[in-house]
Structure 1
Amino acid sequence: MAWRSSQALLQRESSSKIWARAPLLSRGVTTCNSPPTTTQDTSDVLLQTKNGEAIFAGLSTKELVRTLFNLHLVAYEPMVDLSLKVLTSPMMRYALFQVPVNQVVKRTAYSHFCAGENVEEASRTLQRMWELGLRGILDYSSEDATDNKSCDKNLEKFIQVVQQTNQLPQGSVSTSCVKISAICPIQLLERVSNLLRWQHMHKEFKLPWKQDVIPFLAAESPTYHVTSPPDPLTKDEETDLALAHERLSKLCKTCEQEGLPLLIDAEYSSVQPAIDYIIYVAAAEFNKGSWPLIYGTMQAYLKDSFSRLQFAVKGSHERGLSYGVKLVRGAYITRENELASSLRAPSPIHSNIEGTHRCYDSCATFMLEQAANGDGAVVLATHNMDSGRKAAAKAQELGLSRRDPRVQFAQLKGMADMLSLSLAHAGFRVSKYLPFGPVPEVIPYLVRRAEENRGLLGNTVHERQAIRAELRRRLLQA
């Protein structure tokens, strides 16, 4: 089924040149162990990151003060530690304790990182982003469903959110998003992942339910999760897997009708093979047109990410499919390292942050080249200013239009606003992830963000300095 929304995208957003197809991998291929293709340093011209007056021109002084206050809070580790203890305390089961805590959370971390308690509140946040030149990705934060009933309930909510986007300013929502663990029981994802890993190691191992899809495991992919042949899926498990395929298909059809691409998040390695498999089954149906409807996610902190990315692009091309991917660094470092250590296996994550940076930039360069050839589309989800600069410069070097829907940037609400606004001012398409939902339901999301992104939350010194400088400038001019 071709994606009918390619024309809708062009009408809703802006016309862009569709580049002629060229053979894949025709350009020099970089690896994660070598620096990406060098580019002439035009980043300082493209992104005026040192001009605080221009970057923050659209933000009121009140908004800047509130942002600075919240950034100081999340950068102060003792405060983060205390908050995590309170939010995960057994006392949160009691209303007398929970209600005042939720009120404090709503006025601080929740208001900074989340868009509102429902679609109506989220739409007002989205409208503000739109005024600043940013789009939004409405993120109904739900995951780790345990049964079909909860999966069906989550699907209804995802579909409702997609359908309600047509009530928002035209073009203000760039994509929808979902976690497969919200529409497929988590235990089943673990079972399917282990079976897929075992088949990857033993090609003769048969999986009668498995469809022929794009390769999603590489030679470097970790297999320590399984050490003996897993039991085959039961009939009930096969039925549940088919239901998961149906749920994703229903969501894709809704996105297709609304002309809205669908970003599917990556998760932790114990379930990622099953997630990729389910994504690629749907991609075989919905990515047949010139534009991808479905975007999977690659986490550059994984050692096998560049190889898997190459497989995905090559496999899509061979099957006549368009390929879309969201590139992130990764958000499950603690979990991955602890699991590998418990199994006495090497960590699947690069041994240092420099390795992750190199891999991210190599993946970004590779996908920008595919986009320039008309062979792929990429959402560069990064909070790293250097990666943003390099990607912007590479896009310009390749002749990619800054309004081309094949190249987009994204950051979480409340994080890396300097990068988001700098890219938007330079003319690139930029979206902010806008998680929403009632405060008690979103608290687990906030806890995970704090636990997994502790270093990132604390590394806001340059943004805080820029905000203080702009506030000082406004005060002196008052």
Structure 2
Amino acid sequence: MKKIFENTQIAFALKSNNQLQLSYFLFKVMNFKLLVQLGTKILLLALKLHLPVQNLIKKTIFSQFCGGVNEEDCLKVVDTLYTKDVSAVLDYAVEGKINEEEFNNAFEKTLKIIEFAKERQAIPFAVFKPTSFGRMDLYEKTGNATVLTDSEQEEWSRVVNRFDLVCQAAHQKDVPVLIDAEESWMQTAADSLILEMMRKYNTEKAIVYNTLQMYRWDRMEYLKKIHQEAKQGAFYIGIKLVRGAYMEKENERAEENNYPSPICASKPATDENYNSALRYITDNLDIFSLFAGTHNQTSTYYLMELMREKNITTDDFRIWFGQLYGMSDTISFNLAANGYNVAKYVPFGPVKEVIPYLIRRAQENTAVAGQTSRELEMIIKERQRRKKT
């Protein structure tokens, strides 16, 4: 397989020298775990004390990882990305909401994004998180088959209705919708609900996509299980594959509550799990469609090789590669330049409201072995290339 991810000229073609310098500074900071930990505490304290830091945040880490404060703000980013054949998935990145007004707001935002996607080829998917439509505790109780009170049952009915109306709109407008995965203790209920939506709306092709976090050792078994159900029920399956983003929280909770961790025992085991899922899905493209969310070059090359071996064209609509906005541009833009379907997750929301998302991005870049170093290495390489030209 030809190595294509070293071409920094293609990867950073959209970045000015000033933007490249900002990226260099941010990833340099994120290369030091203690600085990220200290910076996170200072940021949260400054917000708590209502200090005027939002403008600084917006010009730095927000501009690196977010598309804007609302959907309209993101359109410039969407259009710019699409000049290089990189699509966008608009992600309303406001988290931690707990009341009906906030859930309804997220629901309306999702419907609006579906409308955006219908009108713009550059936005091929919509997306939402299950807990943006309902409380975490309610998903956990439902997944554990806990008897709900009358008021909780009514509340769960509203969650189901939000799911159904969004998936119905996605089906009617022919816009696939990616439903993100979250903590394992709420995921059982989400999985059941998403599978119900697949049975209902994936009768002609994959419109509803569930997300499988392959750092969970049970996800390959689950993938095979729903495959058998789809064959028997004559519906299609959309799957977004990721490694996962809640590892520390999952392990800590398992230890505190004295149950086996749902997380694979090692990073190599997670990598093998992820690649096994890629292989299984591409072996069964008669039923599956895939959104491969990964910043891992090895897994990306592996999927490319699987496509080559199975004579799957680079632009087959059933296979998409995805990375987060502000990260892994060497993967995204070089894939697109070679004819593959690529989409960047482009988060948006009011600056203060997306702080939890931004903190997680900083922590992820610090925690994932080599992630920040790779980003820095490619940025430095491009800066040196530009100095020579």
Whole-Å separation in 1 of the counterparts to 2:6 and 2:48: 46
The 1:106–1:457 alpha-carbon spacing in structure 2 relative to 1, beyond 3 Å, is farther
Letter of the structure 2 residue corresponding to residue 159 of structure 1: L
Q: Deviations over 1:164-221 (max 9, x none)?
A: 3345xx31002000011111222211111221xxxxxxxxxxxxxxxxxxxxxxxxxx
Structure 1 partner of 2:152: 237
Instruction: Compute the displacement of 1:131 (Å).
Output: 1.4
Give a deviation string over 1:83-136, Cα, whole Å, max 9, x none. Answer: 2102332x52333x1x2x212211111110111111121111111111122000
Bigger proportion of residues as helix: 2
Cα displacement (A) at 1:388: 0.5
**CA displacement, residues 116-166 of structure 1 (integer Å, 9 cap, x when unaligned):** 111121111111111122000000113444233332222112212222334
Aligned residue number for residue 43 of structure 2: 87
Counting only pairs closer than 5 Å after superposition, residues 219-234 of structure 1 correspond to structure 2 as: 230=146, 232-234=147-149
1-structure distance, mates of 2:10, 2:350:
35
1:390 pairs with 302, 318, 327, which one?
Answer: 302
Number of the residue aligned with 1:186:
136
Which of 217, 222, 235 in structure 2 is aligned with 1:303?
Answer: 217
- Deviation string, structure 1 residues 287-342 (Cα, Å, up to 9, x no partner): 111x1110001001001011011111121121000011000000000110000000
Distance (Å, rounded) in 2 between the aligned partners of 1:124 and 1:54: 20
Asked if the contact 2:87/2:123 (under 8 Å) is kept, the reply is yes
* Residue equivalent to 2:107: 155
> Given the alignment of the two structures, is residue 323 of structure 1 paired with residue 227 of structure 2, yes or no?
no
1:250 Cα deviation (Å)?
1.1
Q: How does 1:355-434 map to 2 (within 5 A)?
A: 355-371=269-285, 374-434=286-346
Amino acid of the structure 1 residue aligned with 2:31: A
How far off is 1:258 after superposition? 2.9
Report the Cα distance in structure 2 between the residues aligned to 1:107 and 1:403, rounded to whole angstroms. Answer: 35
Q: In structure 2, what is the equivalent of residue 132 of structure 1?
A: 84
Distance 1:281 1:144, change over 3 A: farther
Aligned residues with identical type, % of pairs: 30
1:408, CA displacement in angstroms? 0.3
- SS of residue paired to 2:368: helix
Distance 1:468 1:144, change over 3 A: closer
Contact 1:75 1:457 in 2 (8 A): no
1:143·1:180 contact (CA, 8 Å) conserved in 2? Answer: no
| Corresponding residue of 1:443 | 355
Q: 2:128·2:179 contact (CA, 8 Å) conserved in 1?
A: yes
Secondary structure of the structure 1 residue equivalent to 2:209:
strand
Q: Which residue of 2 aligns with 1:70?
A: 26
How far 1:452 moved relative to its partner?
Answer: 4.8
**Amino acid across the alignment from 2:222:** R
Do the aligned residues in 2 keep the contact of 1:148 with 1:185 (CA within 8 Å)?
no
Tell me what 1:251 maps to.
166
How many matched pairs? 389
Equivalent position SS for 1:270:
helix
Task: Tell which deviates more after alignment, 278-287 or 248-257.
Answer: 248-257
CA shift, 1:59, in A, is 4.0
Q: Tell me the CA shift for residue 447 of structure 1.
A: 2.0
- Distance in structure 1 (CA, Å) of the matches to 2:269 and 2:314: 28
1:401 is displaced (CA, Å) by 1.1
- SS at the partner of 2:326? coil
Contact between 2:69 and 2:348, CA under 8 Å: does it hold in 1? yes
Q: Do the aligned residues in 2 keep the contact of 1:266 with 1:298 (CA within 8 Å)?
A: yes
Task: Check whether the contact 1:74–1:458 (CA below 8 A) recurs between aligned residues.
Answer: no
Aligned-pair distance for 1:271? 0.4
Distance in 2 between residues matched to 1:358 and 1:164, nearest whole Å: 37
| Structure 2 unmatched runs, 5+ | none
2:301 partner letter: R
3-state DSSP of counterpart to 1:271: helix
66-75 or 424-433, which moves further after superposition? Answer: 66-75
Give the TM-score normalised by structure 1.
0.78
Q: Which AA in structure 2 matches 1:263?
A: L
Structure-2 separation of matches of 1:302 and 1:256: 30
Provide the C-alpha distance between the structure 1 equivalents of 2:54 and 2:223, rounded to a whole number of angstroms.
41
In 1, are the aligned partners of 2:66 and 2:347 still within 8 Å (CA)? Answer: yes
Report the counterpart of residue 56 of structure 2 in structure 1. 104
Q: Which amino acid aligns with 1:92?
A: L
C-alpha distance in 2 between matches for 1:345 and 1:188: 21
Q: Which has the larger radius of gyration?
A: 1
Distance 1:319 1:415, change over 3 A: same
Moved more, 380-389 or 280-289: 280-289
Counterparts of 1:452 and 1:68, CA distance in 2:
17
- Relative to structure 1, the CA distance from residue 121 to residue 458 in structure 2 (aligned partners, 3 Å threshold; closer, same or farther) is farther
CA distance in 1, matches of 2:11, 2:382: 10
Aligned to 1:206: none
Q: Which amino acid aligns with 1:437?
A: G
Aligned-pair distance for 1:279?
0.8
Shift of 1:260: 1.2
3-state SS of the aligned residue for 1:383? coil
Give the letter aligned to residue 49 of structure 2. Answer: Y
1:285 to partner: Cα distance? 1.0
Q: TM-score w.r.t. structure 2 length?
A: 0.95
What's the C-alpha RMSD, in Å, of the aligned pairs?
1.8
Runs of 4 or more above 6 Å deviation = none
When structure 1 is superposed on structure 2, of 323-332 and 240-249 the one drifting more is 240-249
Amino acid at match of 2:125: T
User: How has the CA–CA distance of structure 1 residues 448 and 55 changed in structure 2, closer, same or farther, with 3 Å as cutoff?
Assistant: closer
1:339 partnered with 2:253: yes
